[in-house]
Amino acid sequence: MPIFIDRRLNPKDKSLGNRQRFLRRAREELKRSIRDQIHAGRIADVDAEHVVPMPERGTGEPTFNNARNSGKRQHILPGNRHFSPGDLIPKPGQGGGAGASSPGNTVSEDDFRFVLSREEVLDLFFEDLELPDMVKLNLKEILAFKPRRAGFAATGSPTNINVGRTMRNSHGRRIALRRPKQEELDAILEELAMLELAPSSTATRQRIAALREELDRLERRRKRIAYVDPVDIRFNRFDPQPVPNANAVMFCLMDVSGSMGEREKDLAKRFFVLLHLFLKRRYDRIEIVFIRHTHEAQEVDEETFFNCTQSGGTVVSTALEEMHRIVRQRYPSNEWNIYAAQASDGDNSVTDSERCIALLDGKLMRLCQYFAYVEIIDKREAHIFGSTENGTSLWHAYSAIDLKWPNFQMSRIATPADIYPVFRQLFGRQPALLKRA
């Protein structure tokens, strides 16, 4: 008799440590794949699993190998049908159909892709943005769940038994299986009692015997068919539901005039992604509105927003007006939390900046939970501007708003790491600001 050990309940993921080591090793390459996917994909898709190709660099395992294209060797193969010694067989061309001559070819690694979990994706995404650990943890955290009633289940804990449903099942089963009712028994007992009092005769004795037998049968049947059987029992089923917070709408405003190149758009996109991640954690339902503008603004879908350019001048106030119009029409501020993120290279006509101030100060800032503005500048300009107050006309205009409204944030960004400070206030503990839902 051998020794048996049941390992099925042992902790799973014995190779998790190896996986982590592997991911750490391939980090740079994986980060690049994720960056590309974020660049090409939709904002809302970042927060999910991603499929990435196998990294090539740094994951090779070299050994001394014989070169295939040198020397003489022999292959021994089964299944000869018509060859005789001395036959010449042309070698198959390079790269295709070499299966016959090179035994042991396995699946090529080209199409080897694997799945990164949501956590791993976010880790890689955050690394570029240099988020503080607290914030990372906060963002990765899944929403709080609350159990919600969702029908009935055949299994569950005794505390969740649904008595009504259970008894209804039991009743149906008792009828279907013709379980004798108490009244039937009572009737027989009554008749028995009467017969026993009556003078005895053959007929009554027979009747008594028959009744006893019947009583016996019914009682046995009652025992066989339980009043409440395990199959009747139903439990209340609870589904974990994310705690509904409230609705939020996120406005993405972006200048799409010719001066915004690929780099600028990529930075802007990450800026929007981060805000979206934050909102997704806080709110049950988020809608995203994309507004692009040149000298006129329009609402577009995500695809167009990031990929199409439009020629024209730059009048920022048109975008603000468009946003105001949409808020009034579709997102009343007493039902929606309104967040806005604006990305631009700072160009604006001088007269228009005044209009922007008026719009924000007079209308929009009162409606918004938060308004974040990033000005995307060239890497070389970064050290010139630094934190000095000189800057583009839009920067000047917004500085005034920044002073007046605590829920307005602005920053210049040249690299991905600059994005986070814009949101610092959001991730800080500011219950007063956020509770206004």
Partner 1 sequence: MATQTGKSDLLFSGSDWDFTKLSRAYDAIEAIAVEELHLDTYPVQMEIISSQQMLDAYSSVGMPLMYRHWSFGKHFLHQDLLYRKGGRGLAYEVVINSNPCIVYLMEENTMALQALVTAHAALGHNHFFKNNHLFKQWTDAGAILSYLDFAKSYIARCEERHGFAAVEAVLDSAHALMEQGVFRYHRPPKLSSERQREGLRERLEYEERSYNDLWRTLPPSQQRANVKAQDPEWKKSLNLPEENLLYFLEKNSLVLEPWQREIIRIVRVVAQYFYPQRQTQVMNEGCATFVHYTLMNMLFDRGRISEGAMLEILRNHSNVVFQPAFDDPRFSGINPYALGLDMMQDIRRISTEPTAEDRDWFPDIAGHGNWREVLLEAWTDHRDESFIRQYLSPTLIRKWRFFVLGDAADQPHYQVASIHNEHGYDKIRAALAHSYDVGANRPDIQVVDVDLLGDRQLRLQHKVKHGILLEDTSRDATLRHIRRLWGYEVSLAAVDAETGLTVHERSTSQIAE
Instruction: Report residue 154 as tokens.
Output: 């055949």
Question: Which of 57, 74, 262, 386 touches partner 1 by CB under 8 A?
Answer: 74
Which residues, 6+ apart, have CB-to-CB distance to 304 below 8 Å? 290, 292
Nearest to 376 by CA among 398, 339, 345: 345
- The reply on whether position 182 binds partner 1 by CB under 8 A is no
Nearer to partner 1, 2 or 95 (CB): 2
Nearer to partner 1, 16 or 198 (CB): 16
- The reply on whether position 23 binds partner 1 by CB under 8 A is yes
Nearer to partner 1, 27 or 396 (CB): 27
Nearer to partner 1, 2 or 386 (CB): 2
Stretch that binds partner 1, among 4-12, 167-175, 195-203, 314-322 (CB under 8 A): 4-12
- b/e 55-83 (16+ beta carbons within 10 angstroms → b): beeeeeeeeeeeeeeeeeeeeeeeeeeee
Stretch that binds partner 1, among 79-87, 201-209, 264-272, 276-284 (CB under 8 A): 79-87
**From the CB of 81, what's the least distance to partner 1, in Å?**
7
Residues 38-57 that bind partner 1 (CB under 8 A): 54
Residue with tokens 């009682």: 219
- The reply on whether position 66 binds partner 1 by CB under 8 A is yes
Question: Which of 29, 50, 103, 182 touches partner 1 by CB under 8 A?
Answer: 103
Distance CA(84)–CA(375), nearest Å, equals: 78
- The reply on whether position 17 binds partner 1 by CB under 8 A is yes
Nearer to partner 1, 91 or 178 (CB): 91
Stretch that binds partner 1, among 38-46, 104-112, 139-147, 383-391 (CB under 8 A): 104-112
- b/e 150-167 (16+ beta carbons within 10 angstroms → b): eebeeebeeeeebeebbe
- The reply on whether position 379 binds partner 1 by CB under 8 A is no
Residues 223-242 that bind partner 1 (CB under 8 A): none
- The reply on whether position 65 binds partner 1 by CB under 8 A is yes
Task: Return the SS3 of 400.
Answer: helix
Residue with tokens 């055949």: 154
The amino acid occupying position 157 is S
Nearer to partner 1, 6 or 389 (CB): 6
CA 411, chain centre distance (Å) = 29
The amino acid occupying position 127 is E
- The reply on whether position 86 binds partner 1 by CB under 8 A is yes
**From the CB of 113, what's the least distance to partner 1, in Å?**
8
Question: Which of 99, 164, 199, 386 touches partner 1 by CB under 8 A?
Answer: 99
Where are the extended beta strands (E) located within 215-360?
A: 235-242, 247-255, 285-293, 297-300, 336-344
Question: Which of 57, 76, 110, 158 touches partner 1 by CB under 8 A?
Answer: 76
Are the C-beta atoms of residues 116 and 126 closer than 8 Å to each other? no
β-bridge pairing 235-242 and 247-255: unpaired
DSSP at 227:
S
| Number of chain positions touching partner 1 (CB under 8 A) | 66
Nearer to partner 1, 105 or 202 (CB): 105
Are the C-beta atoms of residues 116 and 30 closer than 8 Å to each other? yes
DSSP at 68:
T
- The reply on whether position 71 binds partner 1 by CB under 8 A is yes
- The reply on whether position 22 binds partner 1 by CB under 8 A is yes
Are the C-beta atoms of residues 419 and 270 closer than 8 Å to each other? yes
| Residues that bind partner 1 in the complex, under the rule CB under 8 A | 1-8, 10, 12-15, 17-25, 54, 59-81, 83-91, 99-101, 103-107, 112-114
